[in-house]
Chain A
């Protein structure tokens, strides 16, 4: 390395330091910076620009004044533009001022808590068919959540996570095309449901039975479906965010007029992968929509006065998660088109996603949507949220949720009523219970599926280990009962 640099420097035999540098006027670090700038050679002309003149101390000014500026400083109304390559649109000011308070980013909504559309010209171009489908799927998801949550409480499945209060992302699913690729976190069952993932498929996954696409290897609610372009959920938080950017880059290269939708919560946005992903998506111009659902939680009202949001990752209120203006303010920092929406308003979510998709697919711009919602349920079945928040508050919040708001909207339109509601609930309950019972009765996948899919083909060590397990199972059948497992392989 040193050799290479020496070789390189020998290309500039005539390079010598200006006289001003021979006197030790500068702190050593500054001198080093200057020297390294000079060593880089091609950037040497920068020394002549007014940039460095203003950035360093007086004696250099004499050095600089003997030369002409690299280019005329464009003097717009805001003053002289900087020539630093890291921020080319900045300009100089002579008032020393920290950026401290920025205007909070507003929250876009289409309808209020009573389902009234506020701005008339915003009246939606939504068909009755789509609106009713969204509503039905929201109710179905809610009912499935109730049943599977209870099933876990009774020890019939090992784990569950509900979607209570976050059903409005059904609006984002409706705004996408079926070929758009989804990367989720684990609370996006509604998106799958909207795309046609069947109740049987949900139940089979939660029961880890032989009908499970994932072959019973992952915890419940880690859904995935190739048919529905929904990449399989994994537990590590935030990892899907840079993956979504990469997948979007691939779609762009393939010339497909599709985007990638990536869901995550505000807690995951504290992971390094969030930062990596937004920066990469912006610099490589990926058609990806980052959809952050911020779960607003009113658990300790006292904190309200000092914090705009009081949501949770699990038990961590938002004020312990970040100090800035939510996640949306960060998107702007990465140069990403950003919007904050009312996450209980399915039409705000829908409108924002339609527009975001247009930006992504037509202009290859990543977009960030921050949906402010409220996690009504516990984090998961392993969590009792009454330990860190007030049950009454939760009940009060439940009055404004995406489902009731959409129902009010539908009723105003005359597209829904008590009769339809009753029929839907009876019908869905029957379907869910039928799937539930069937899933419970199915066998677990064949034991040897334990070894497959680690690689595309079984490597010799796994062939050997598979044989070893088989021998053990034959030797100790009473210990390794396979009655509950499918035969095969």
Chain B
């Protein structure tokens, strides 16, 4: 069965019995220090994956001032100005703690969530909010999704966890045929807006076929659900709180490689970030570059490389954030200015979400496009183990994509 899951679970479960949370945290910090060293050298990737650029990324907000400068945070619960250093799993944990504290009907469930989750996202929540609100389920993804739909159908808030996005497919029927159509098919008298399905996604360095997938495009073809992917702790907290409170079922994918590697100053207050809205994270005038999740850091690096090697080049970087419904307007407005578009994602190319963006933008911006839209994606293969480095739409491939649209 799930080897990695078993390893995670048994190791962490045992660890939580044998040592205090503090010492686990210590070990995690130690690992991060180690991974920093790996990143800067040509050694193999660290155990928790190879994520270049997060440590030095300008997308990461390292000070409170930087974190709060975001205009989206004005008029939210983040406005009091208090921030705390959190990694992505802590931000997710923080969002769920706020969701439980502010909504008596909210519960969290899934495989192994009670002891804190295999990625620590639910640490401490069962102790704080009680076992009836944070509980383990049997190992059944279709059951978890169906159970969540049932809770939401009577007006409660269900935050369900699918341990890896790779294992969401047994729940596909419940998500696509049931959750997505619940409101429509009942004429609006019932809905499952209180349902949020969280799931770790994307590459992790050594996850191979079933601990690396990015299945967002499968869900993007399903009217009735929302699909959201954050790029860092601040985004994760705000988007997750918005997803939980949104009155539509949301599939929330968390790039697991960022769980520990992305660390920033996160507002401690209760704030939401808008769904269905892309964010321009770097202004530019020559090329529009679009990505989401962990791919944002790869793109940031590729842009740096391109701007260094092509003097005068200025790239605009956009984080799509919501895959469905997606913000075509922001992307189109950007491409109408730049005339060039590169979209990059880890998922395979054919029918990946970049195809939808390329088609829509071609339709909207045909007269402004100066080069064919470039898609830099995973190859059309299952996600491989030892070939991960060669599979990934990495810095070089993204740089090449930018170069191609510039030189066309």
A residues with a Cβ closer than 8 A to B are 1-5, 7-8, 11, 36, 39-42, 181, 183, 212-215, 217-218, 222, 224-226, 231-232, 234, 236, 239, 241-251, 253-254, 260, 272-273, 275-277, 279-280, 283-284, 452-456, 459-461
Docked-complex contact A213 and B187, CB < 8 angstroms:
yes
Docked-complex contact B18 and A42, CB < 8 angstroms:
yes
Measured CB to CB, the nearest residue on chain B to A458 is B325
Docked-complex contact A41 and B14, CB < 8 angstroms:
yes
Hey, what's the 0/1 contact readout for B187-204 against A, CB within 8 Å counting as 1? Answer: 111110100000000000
Measured CB to CB, the nearest residue on chain B to A464 is B328
| Further 19 A-B residue pairs, CB within 8 A, beyond A3-B46, A254-B156 | A1-B47, A4-B31, A8-B15, A217-B184, A232-B182, A232-B189, A242-B146, A247-B151, A247-B153, A248-B150, A253-B105, A254-B105, A272-B140, A275-B140, A277-B147, A453-B186, A454-B223, A459-B276, A460-B328
Are A253 and B190 CB-contacts (below 8 A) given A5-B11, A243-B149? no
Please tell me which one of the listed residues A36, A42, A247, A276 contacts residue B154 in the complex, with CB atoms under 8 A apart.
A247
- The size of the chain B interface, using a CB distance under 8 A, is 68
Docked-complex contact A243 and B153, CB < 8 angstroms:
yes
Which 10 pairs, one residue from A and one from B, show the smallest C-beta to C-beta distance? A246-B150, A242-B146, A3-B47, A276-B143, A243-B150, A246-B147, A232-B186, A459-B325, A247-B150, A214-B187
B153 to chain A, nearest CB (A): 6
Which residues, 167 to 221 on B, are CB-close (under 8 Å) to A? Answer: 170, 173-174, 177-178, 181-191, 193, 206
Which residues, 3 to 24 on B, are CB-close (under 8 Å) to A? Answer: 4, 7-8, 10-12, 14-15, 17-19
With a cutoff of 8 Å between Cβ atoms, the chain B residues found around residue A275 in the complex are 140
Docked-complex contact A239 and B143, CB < 8 angstroms:
no
The 24 listed contacts between A and B (C-beta, < 8 Å) are: A2-B7, A2-B47, A4-B31, A41-B18, A231-B153, A232-B185, A234-B181, A239-B177, A242-B149, A242-B174, A246-B148, A247-B151, A247-B153, A273-B174, A276-B138, A276-B146, A279-B138, A280-B143, A453-B188, A455-B248, A455-B325, A456-B183, A456-B247, A461-B325
B276 to chain A, nearest CB (A): 6
Measured CB to CB, the nearest residue on chain B to A4 is B11
A242 to chain B, nearest CB (A): 3
A466 to chain B, nearest CB (A): 13
Docked-complex contact B143 and A250, CB < 8 angstroms:
no
A231 to B101, CA, bound (A): 29
Docked-complex contact B173 and A239, CB < 8 angstroms:
yes
B211 to chain A, nearest CB (A): 9
A173 to B8, CA, bound (A): 47
Measured CB to CB, the nearest residue on chain A to B137 is A280
A217 to B188, CA, bound (A): 11
With a cutoff of 8 Å between Cβ atoms, the chain A residues found around residue B150 in the complex are 183, 242-250, 260
Are A214 and B185 CB-contacts (below 8 A) given A241-B146, A454-B223, A455-B248? yes
B385 to chain A, nearest CB (A): 13
Q: At the interface, yes or no: B48 with Cβ under 8 Å from chain A? A: yes
Chain B binding site: helix, strand, loop or mixed by DSSP?
helix
A423 to B189, CA, bound (A): 36
A245 to B158, CA, bound (A): 13
With a cutoff of 8 Å between Cβ atoms, the chain A residues found around residue B48 in the complex are 1, 3
With a cutoff of 8 Å between Cβ atoms, the chain A residues found around residue B276 in the complex are 459-460
Docked-complex contact A253 and B47, CB < 8 angstroms:
no
Docked-complex contact B47 and A4, CB < 8 angstroms:
yes
A31 to chain B, nearest CB (A): 18
With a cutoff of 8 Å between Cβ atoms, the chain B residues found around residue A232 in the complex are 182, 185-187, 189-190
Docked-complex contact B140 and A279, CB < 8 angstroms:
yes
Q: At the interface, yes or no: B116 with Cβ under 8 Å from chain A? A: no
Docked-complex contact A284 and B186, CB < 8 angstroms:
no
With a cutoff of 8 Å between Cβ atoms, the chain A residues found around residue B156 in the complex are 250, 253-254
A226 to B186, CA, bound (A): 9
Please tell me which one of the listed residues B173, B189, B247 contacts residue A226 in the complex, with CB atoms under 8 A apart.
B189
Docked-complex contact B7 and A250, CB < 8 angstroms:
no
With a cutoff of 8 Å between Cβ atoms, the chain A residues found around residue B178 in the complex are 234, 236, 239, 243
Q: At the interface, yes or no: B132 with Cβ under 8 Å from chain A? A: yes
A272 to B48, CA, bound (A): 34
Q: At the interface, yes or no: B368 with Cβ under 8 Å from chain A? A: no
Q: At the interface, yes or no: B27 with Cβ under 8 Å from chain A? A: yes
With a cutoff of 8 Å between Cβ atoms, the chain B residues found around residue A218 in the complex are 185
Measured CB to CB, the nearest residue on chain B to A445 is B187
Q: At the interface, yes or no: B329 with Cβ under 8 Å from chain A? A: yes
A234 to B156, CA, bound (A): 21
With a cutoff of 8 Å between Cβ atoms, the chain A residues found around residue B193 in the complex are 456
Docked-complex contact B143 and A242, CB < 8 angstroms:
yes
Give the one of A2, A183, A234, A453 with max B CB within 10 A: A453
Hey, what's the 0/1 contact readout for B115-146 against A, CB within 8 Å counting as 1? Answer: 00000000000000000110101101011111
